[in-house]
Amino acid sequence: MTDKLYEARDRITGLLDRDEFQNKARKKIRSGEFGLAIIWFNIDNFKIYNEIFGYISGTTLLKETAEILKVIFPGEHNLISRFCDDNFVVMSSWCALEDNIEAVQNSLYRLHKNITLKLRAGIYFPSHNDDVAISCDRAKTACDTIRKNHSIKSCMYQDDMSSNLAQRQYILDNLSDAFKNGYIKVFYQPIVRMLTGKICETEALTRWEDPRLGFISPHDFIATLEQYREIHRLDIYALGQVCRDYRVRYENNMPVLPVSINLSRLDFELCDIFQEFEQATQINNIPRKMIKIEITESVYGEDMAGLNLGIEKFRANGYEVWMDDFGSGYSSLNALKDYNFDTIKFDMKFLSGFNKNSARLTTILSANLSMAKQMGIQTLAEGVETREQLEYLQAIGFEKAQGYFFGRPMVLDNVFNLATDTEDFRDAEYYAKLGKIEMPSQDLMHRPDYEIADVRRMALLELCNDHIEILAQNKNHEEWLNDIHDGEFEIMKKFLSRIIIGRTGKKFYIFRKGNCIRVNITPAAKNLRTGAQTWLAVHYDITRIPICPSCKHKPQDTYNCLSEILEGEILQLD
């Protein structure tokens, strides 16, 4: 077989993939071939194009671009590749280069006369001792510099564009040292359960404090490590550190919390990431359910069978997989359709410029929340900075929240020293069941066609050692309860304890102020550790009780009369 059959090709366009392109380009550069140019093409606003015209049209646009490149840069001496997403890279001769680039751009614009498309191009001329990855990077840097200038369609690389490049090179060169010397640390940010106000989990976030460059933001070193396909080294390091931190606390009989670890899509390609997790958890004797995996929303754009298999493998073996940054990109809903998640983390952008009176924000958040609950997925809001945001998110039914309001990322021990209590991790399953119950509130329904009767009063009642507590309730229930005075509330609690313990029925009636309410109660979840049992109570307004003529206008007689008709216990509050 010839070499050609082994060429690694991009699945969508059939062009060379990044690795294959770089192998071939490296050979050409090293051979000293004269007059080589690398051109980096990028389609402006491709994500928005996808969003407006759909994923299939987006794929078609990628294929069309590939076909045009093949026509304008024909023959084996030209190398054409799709690196990722909408990034195409060509190695060609510098002869007639600008005409060729213009021809590519014009051909694409002719195919899409009715919309405004822009195909940007960045050019770099490598010399024979240049590294191929850095050469491509320089072409990209040139391409990026004209992102905001709509009148310029192509640009050549200049040396002063590369201050960023120096930092990237530093990151790559010093990664191993940074691991070895502990310059890269894992910090933990608390995640709080709305139902109890306790810290129930933490998210592991890496920090690089470098003796020479100072603090390097994860946004910088993670982008670089992804670009140069070294990200798995960081993620495996973070995993190891998380496991070690956990074990130290556990072995010293200190409380522990589950931890979520950020993964990159590339981890599934660059190493056997599942096996890494298996090894790390086994060596440190950590139950799999204590380690969760976050994968960011932006990586689901392409149909990645491999990623899906990877996610399912983790889930089948007892690790939770969370979708990070939901709503930040263009493919959130597609990703939910195509992959299974245990938790959705709503992106913090939802909360920036937050205004609780914004009907649009409320509609978007509560509709997505409701969707998640119907799919049996847990919900977490990121970026909570104020009490106002917290109260709002709690009212619309978010299960968990994370953000500076509760604490910034910090060393693990400090999480346990915060004023906020931590949850016993054995209770997580119990609360997760309760968190999935939807309790819509009347005032959150901005739809004009909503009838009062559509939204019931609802409450979660927890019974533990004869003591009843309202764990959560919707606004409608809260308003009703506010109208009930303490004496009545105590009578109601006693009645509820009796009826729940005796399990005498799934419904009962409350008579009060001439109203009859039917209450349906259903068991919601049981906490095996504490023995607590929670019931969901839903109120139905049956009727305003008419005064019965034969009872001589006395409400008590009317109630007695009704009690005989209704089958079920009755709690009479007035």
CB of 142 closer than 8 Å to CB of 124: yes
Nearest approach, Cβ of 221 to ligand C2E (angstroms)? 9
Q: Among 10, 226, 320, 325, which residue interacts with Ca ion (rule: CB under 5 A)? A: 325
329 binds, among ligand C2E, Ca ion, none (CB under 5 to 8 A by kind): none
Distance from C-alpha of 364 to C-alpha of 28, rounded to nearest angstrom: 53
Residues 6+ apart with CB under 8 A from 56: none
Nearest approach, Cβ of 230 to ligand C2E (angstroms)? 11
Q: Among 43, 61, 234, 412, which residue interacts with ligand C2E (rule: CB under 6 A)? A: 234
The residue among 185, 224, 231 whose CA lies nearest residue 207 is 185
39 binds, among ligand C2E, Ca ion, none (CB under 5 to 8 A by kind): none
Distance from C-alpha of 459 to C-alpha of 464, rounded to nearest angstrom: 16
Nearer to ligand C2E, 60 or 298 (CB): 298
383 binds ligand C2E (CB under 6 A): yes
Interface map 241-270 toward ligand C2E (x if CB under 6 A):
---------------------xxx------
Q: At what angle do helices 18-30 and 132-145 cross, to 10 degrees?
A: 110
Nearer to ligand C2E, 205 or 472 (CB): 205
The Cα-based distances of 31 to 17, 24, 74, 94, 304 in angstroms read: 21, 11, 21, 17, 36
Nearer to ligand C2E, 90 or 273 (CB): 273
385 binds, among Ca ion, ligand C2E, none (CB under 5 to 8 A by kind): ligand C2E
Q: What is the DSSP letter of 5?
A: G
86 binds Ca ion (CB under 5 A): no
Q: Which stretch binds ligand C2E (CB under 6 A): 160-168, 277-285, 379-387, 558-566?
A: 379-387
The residue among 216, 212, 231 whose CA lies nearest residue 184 is 216
409 binds ligand C2E (CB under 6 A): yes
137 binds Ca ion (CB under 5 A): no
CB of 379 closer than 8 Å to CB of 410: no
Q: Which two tokens stand for residue 223?
A: 């982008």
Nearest approach, Cβ of 294 to Ca ion (angstroms)? 4
Kindly give the pairing relationship between strand 154-156 and strand 119-124.
parallel
For ligand C2E, the binding residues in 447-506 under the rule CB under 6 A are none
Distance from C-alpha of 63 to C-alpha of 14, rounded to nearest angstrom: 9
SS3 content of the chain, % helix, strand, coil (to 5): 45, 25, 30
Q: Among 10, 137, 245, 294, which residue interacts with Ca ion (rule: CB under 5 A)? A: 294
For Ca ion, the binding residues in 230-269 under the rule CB under 5 A are 262
Nearest approach, Cβ of 272 to ligand C2E (angstroms)? 17
Nearest approach, Cβ of 396 to Ca ion (angstroms)? 19
Q: Which stretch binds Ca ion (CB under 5 A): 297-305, 321-329, 448-456, 518-526?
A: 321-329
81 binds, among ligand C2E, Ca ion, none (CB under 5 to 8 A by kind): none
**How far from the centroid of its chain's Cα atoms is residue 266's Cα?**
17
Distance from C-alpha of 47 to C-alpha of 51, rounded to nearest angstrom: 6
222 binds ligand C2E (CB under 6 A): yes
Nearest approach, Cβ of 348 to Ca ion (angstroms)? 7
Residues 6+ apart with CB under 8 A from 194: 393, 394, 398, 399, 400, 401, 435
Nearest approach, Cβ of 352 to ligand C2E (angstroms)? 8
219 binds, among ligand C2E, Ca ion, none (CB under 5 to 8 A by kind): ligand C2E
Q: Which residues of 198-215 are buried (b: 16+ CB within 10 A; e: fewer)?
A: bbbbbbbbbebebeeeee
Nearest approach, Cβ of 407 to ligand C2E (angstroms)? 9
Half-sphere exposure of 131 (CA within 13 A, CB side): 7
Distance from C-alpha of 326 to C-alpha of 349, rounded to nearest angstrom: 10
For ligand C2E, the binding residues in 335-364 under the rule CB under 6 A are 348
Q: Among 99, 272, 404, 429, which residue interacts with ligand C2E (rule: CB under 6 A)? A: 404
Nearest approach, Cβ of 262 to Ca ion (angstroms)? 5
Q: Which two tokens stand for residue 480?
A: 């009703």
Distance from C-alpha of 469 to C-alpha of 419, rounded to nearest angstrom: 23
For ligand C2E, the binding residues in 191-220 under the rule CB under 6 A are 205-206, 218-219
- Kindly list the residues in this chain that would bind ligand C2E in the complex (CB under 6 A): 189, 205-206, 218-219, 222, 231, 234-235, 238, 262-264, 296, 324-325, 348, 383-385, 403-404, 409
- Kindly list the residues in this chain that would bind Ca ion in the complex (CB under 5 A): 262, 294, 324-325
